[in-house]
Chains A and B, each alone.
Chain A
Protein backbone atom coordinates (compact mmCIF):
# COMPACT_ATOMS: atom_id res chain seq x y z
CA UNK A 1 0.00 0.00 0.00
CA UNK A 2 1.02 3.62 -0.38
CA UNK A 3 2.94 5.38 2.33
CA UNK A 4 2.37 8.83 3.76
CA UNK A 5 2.33 11.45 1.05
CA UNK A 6 2.77 15.19 1.36
CA UNK A 7 2.06 17.93 -1.09
CA UNK A 8 3.59 20.06 -2.32
CA UNK A 9 7.11 18.75 -2.00
CA UNK A 10 8.41 22.31 -2.18
CA UNK A 11 6.70 25.60 -1.49
CA UNK A 12 8.25 29.02 -1.94
CA UNK A 13 6.26 31.96 -0.70
CA UNK A 14 6.74 35.56 0.26
CA UNK A 15 6.73 36.93 3.77
CA UNK A 16 3.21 37.68 4.88
CA UNK A 17 1.50 35.17 2.62
CA UNK A 18 -0.74 32.29 3.61
CA UNK A 19 0.22 28.67 2.89
CA UNK A 20 -1.40 25.27 3.19
CA UNK A 21 0.51 22.03 3.44
CA UNK A 22 -1.28 18.77 2.88
CA UNK A 23 -0.72 15.32 4.34
CA UNK A 24 -2.27 12.05 3.18
CA UNK A 25 -1.68 9.40 5.83
CA UNK A 26 -1.58 5.68 5.35
CA UNK A 27 -5.10 4.40 4.83
CA UNK A 28 -6.70 3.34 8.09
CA UNK A 29 -4.23 5.11 10.34
CA UNK A 30 -6.13 6.98 13.01
CA UNK A 31 -3.23 8.94 14.46
CA UNK A 32 -1.54 11.75 12.55
CA UNK A 33 1.36 13.96 13.57
CA UNK A 34 2.96 17.11 12.22
CA UNK A 35 6.59 17.97 12.87
CA UNK A 36 8.84 20.81 11.80
CA UNK A 37 12.47 20.18 10.95
CA UNK A 38 14.70 23.20 10.74
CA UNK A 39 18.08 23.06 9.06
CA UNK A 40 20.53 21.02 11.09
CA UNK A 41 17.93 19.96 13.64
CA UNK A 42 15.81 16.95 14.36
CA UNK A 43 12.06 16.99 13.89
CA UNK A 44 10.15 19.06 16.41
CA UNK A 45 6.62 18.04 17.38
CA UNK A 46 3.86 20.44 16.36
CA UNK A 47 0.48 18.76 16.68
CA UNK A 48 -1.13 15.36 17.02
CA UNK A 49 -4.54 14.19 15.80
CA UNK A 50 -6.44 11.17 16.96
CA UNK A 51 -9.20 10.83 14.43
CA UNK A 52 -10.64 14.23 13.59
CA UNK A 53 -9.66 16.00 16.77
CA UNK A 54 -6.40 17.63 17.69
CA UNK A 55 -5.46 15.74 20.83
CA UNK A 56 -2.42 17.90 21.47
CA UNK A 57 -1.45 21.09 19.71
CA UNK A 58 1.05 22.23 22.31
CA UNK A 59 3.88 22.25 19.79
CA UNK A 60 2.35 24.85 17.49
CA UNK A 61 4.65 27.87 17.84
CA UNK A 62 1.96 30.55 17.79
CA UNK A 63 -1.55 31.32 16.59
CA UNK A 64 -0.43 31.76 12.99
CA UNK A 65 -0.24 27.99 12.78
CA UNK A 66 -3.36 25.87 12.57
CA UNK A 67 -4.09 22.33 11.41
CA UNK A 68 -7.25 20.46 10.56
CA UNK A 69 -8.26 16.91 9.82
CA UNK A 70 -11.97 17.19 9.09
CA UNK A 71 -12.70 13.63 8.03
CA UNK A 72 -10.10 11.82 10.04
CA UNK A 73 -7.77 11.11 7.15
CA UNK A 74 -6.18 13.96 5.15
CA UNK A 75 -4.76 16.79 7.21
CA UNK A 76 -3.85 20.33 6.27
CA UNK A 77 -1.36 22.49 8.12
CA UNK A 78 -2.13 26.15 7.62
CA UNK A 79 0.27 29.00 8.22
CA UNK A 80 -0.91 32.59 8.15
CA UNK A 81 1.24 35.69 7.66
CA UNK A 82 4.32 33.61 7.01
CA UNK A 83 7.65 34.78 8.36
CA UNK A 84 11.16 33.97 7.23
CA UNK A 85 11.64 31.96 10.42
CA UNK A 86 8.90 29.58 9.30
CA UNK A 87 11.22 28.24 6.61
CA UNK A 88 11.74 24.56 7.36
CA UNK A 89 10.76 21.07 6.25
CA UNK A 90 7.34 20.16 7.55
CA UNK A 91 6.96 16.45 8.17
CA UNK A 92 3.81 14.46 8.58
CA UNK A 93 3.59 11.02 10.12
CA UNK A 94 0.80 8.57 10.80
CA UNK A 95 0.40 5.52 12.96
CA UNK A 96 -2.21 2.83 13.31
CA UNK A 97 -3.19 4.08 16.75
CA UNK A 98 -1.84 6.57 19.19
CA UNK A 99 1.05 5.94 21.52
CA UNK A 100 4.81 5.96 21.27
CA UNK A 101 4.95 2.21 20.94
CA UNK A 102 3.03 2.40 17.71
CA UNK A 103 5.45 3.02 14.87
CA UNK A 104 5.08 6.35 13.16
CA UNK A 105 5.45 6.29 9.40
CA UNK A 106 6.80 9.52 7.98
CA UNK A 107 6.16 11.26 4.71
CA UNK A 108 8.96 12.84 2.65
CA UNK A 109 8.10 16.31 3.90
CA UNK A 110 7.28 19.68 2.41
CA UNK A 111 10.14 22.13 2.19
CA UNK A 112 8.77 25.61 2.90
CA UNK A 113 10.87 28.61 1.97
CA UNK A 114 9.68 32.05 2.99
CA UNK A 115 11.43 34.85 1.12
Chain B
Protein backbone atom coordinates (compact mmCIF):
# COMPACT_ATOMS: atom_id res chain seq x y z
CA UNK B 1 0.00 0.00 0.00
CA UNK B 2 1.11 3.53 -0.67
CA UNK B 3 1.88 5.46 2.47
CA UNK B 4 3.97 8.20 3.99
CA UNK B 5 5.39 7.94 7.49
CA UNK B 6 6.60 10.85 9.55
CA UNK B 7 7.90 9.18 12.69
CA UNK B 8 8.05 12.29 14.83
CA UNK B 9 4.71 13.74 15.88
CA UNK B 10 6.44 16.79 17.29
CA UNK B 11 9.96 18.14 17.60
CA UNK B 12 11.34 20.98 19.69
CA UNK B 13 14.53 22.77 18.70
CA UNK B 14 16.25 25.86 19.96
CA UNK B 15 16.35 28.91 17.76
CA UNK B 16 19.55 28.84 15.71
CA UNK B 17 19.92 25.09 16.01
CA UNK B 18 19.79 22.75 13.04
CA UNK B 19 16.70 20.79 12.14
CA UNK B 20 15.98 17.48 10.47
CA UNK B 21 12.46 16.17 9.94
CA UNK B 22 12.16 12.57 8.87
CA UNK B 23 9.98 11.14 6.14
CA UNK B 24 9.76 7.60 4.83
CA UNK B 25 7.47 6.42 2.08
CA UNK B 26 6.13 3.21 0.69
CA UNK B 27 5.35 3.26 -3.00
CA UNK B 28 5.50 0.93 -5.98
CA UNK B 29 8.00 3.11 -7.78
CA UNK B 30 9.90 6.25 -6.96
CA UNK B 31 7.18 8.82 -6.53
CA UNK B 32 7.27 12.54 -6.76
CA UNK B 33 8.15 13.87 -3.29
CA UNK B 34 7.10 17.04 -1.54
CA UNK B 35 7.38 18.92 1.70
CA UNK B 36 4.67 21.34 2.74
CA UNK B 37 4.43 23.69 5.71
CA UNK B 38 1.20 24.66 7.44
CA UNK B 39 1.20 27.64 9.77
CA UNK B 40 -1.80 28.39 12.01
CA UNK B 41 -4.55 29.99 9.99
CA UNK B 42 -2.59 29.62 6.78
CA UNK B 43 -2.96 27.27 3.88
CA UNK B 44 -0.44 24.58 3.12
CA UNK B 45 2.59 26.02 1.36
CA UNK B 46 4.96 24.05 -0.79
CA UNK B 47 8.52 24.16 0.54
CA UNK B 48 10.20 22.00 -2.07
CA UNK B 49 9.72 19.08 -4.41
CA UNK B 50 11.73 16.29 -5.97
CA UNK B 51 10.99 14.71 -9.30
CA UNK B 52 14.34 13.48 -10.57
CA UNK B 53 17.98 14.41 -10.88
CA UNK B 54 20.06 15.80 -8.06
CA UNK B 55 18.95 14.10 -4.87
CA UNK B 56 19.56 17.20 -2.76
CA UNK B 57 16.90 19.77 -3.46
CA UNK B 58 16.72 23.33 -2.27
CA UNK B 59 13.50 24.98 -1.30
CA UNK B 60 12.15 28.20 0.02
CA UNK B 61 12.90 29.68 3.45
CA UNK B 62 16.33 28.05 3.57
CA UNK B 63 15.04 24.46 3.63
CA UNK B 64 16.55 21.56 1.77
CA UNK B 65 15.71 17.88 1.48
CA UNK B 66 17.64 14.82 0.46
CA UNK B 67 16.16 11.89 -1.39
CA UNK B 68 17.66 8.52 -0.52
CA UNK B 69 16.25 5.79 -2.71
CA UNK B 70 17.85 2.96 -0.74
CA UNK B 71 16.13 4.13 2.42
CA UNK B 72 12.89 5.32 0.80
CA UNK B 73 13.43 8.55 2.67
CA UNK B 74 13.09 12.24 1.94
CA UNK B 75 14.25 14.09 5.05
CA UNK B 76 13.88 17.82 5.42
CA UNK B 77 16.69 19.90 6.86
CA UNK B 78 17.49 23.43 7.82
CA UNK B 79 20.88 24.53 9.19
CA UNK B 80 19.57 27.25 11.50
CA UNK B 81 15.99 27.43 12.67
CA UNK B 82 14.19 30.72 13.20
CA UNK B 83 11.26 31.22 15.57
CA UNK B 84 9.03 31.84 12.55
CA UNK B 85 9.65 28.27 11.40
CA UNK B 86 7.35 26.96 14.13
CA UNK B 87 4.58 25.21 12.19
CA UNK B 88 3.37 21.81 11.05
CA UNK B 89 5.34 20.12 8.30
CA UNK B 90 3.93 17.53 5.95
CA UNK B 91 5.77 15.16 3.68
CA UNK B 92 3.80 14.01 0.65
CA UNK B 93 4.16 11.76 -2.36
CA UNK B 94 2.56 11.80 -5.77
CA UNK B 95 2.46 9.28 -8.59
CA UNK B 96 5.54 9.21 -10.82
CA UNK B 97 3.27 9.36 -13.85
CA UNK B 98 2.50 12.90 -12.88
CA UNK B 99 -1.01 12.17 -11.69
CA UNK B 100 -2.74 14.27 -9.13
CA UNK B 101 -3.52 12.03 -6.17
CA UNK B 102 -1.11 13.25 -3.51
CA UNK B 103 -0.70 11.21 -0.32
CA UNK B 104 0.26 13.10 2.80
CA UNK B 105 1.97 12.00 5.97
CA UNK B 106 0.41 12.77 9.35
CA UNK B 107 2.73 15.71 9.88
CA UNK B 108 5.40 16.80 12.34
CA UNK B 109 4.76 19.80 14.52
CA UNK B 110 7.85 21.91 15.07
CA UNK B 111 8.24 23.97 18.21
CA UNK B 112 11.05 26.53 18.43
CA UNK B 113 12.29 27.66 21.80
CA UNK B 114 14.18 30.87 22.40
Contacts and interface: CB of A to CB of B under 8 A. Distances in A.
Contact of B43 (A31, A45, A56, A108): A108
A68 B90 CA distance: 28
B43 A91 contact: yes
Contacts of B105: 42
Interface string A70-108: 000000000000000000000101000011110111111
A53 interface: no
Interface of B: 4, 9, 32, 36, 41-46, 49, 51, 90, 92, 94-95, 98-107
30 contacts: A3-B43, A4-B43, A40-B106, A41-B107, A42-B90, A42-B105, A43-B44, A43-B104, A48-B100, A48-B101, A55-B100, A56-B101, A91-B43, A91-B44, A93-B43, A98-B100, A99-B100, A100-B32, A100-B99, A101-B49, A101-B51, A101-B94, A101-B98, A103-B49, A105-B43, A106-B36, A107-B43, A108-B41, A108-B42, A109-B43
Interface of A: 3-4, 31, 33, 40-45, 48, 55-56, 59, 91, 93, 98-101, 103-109
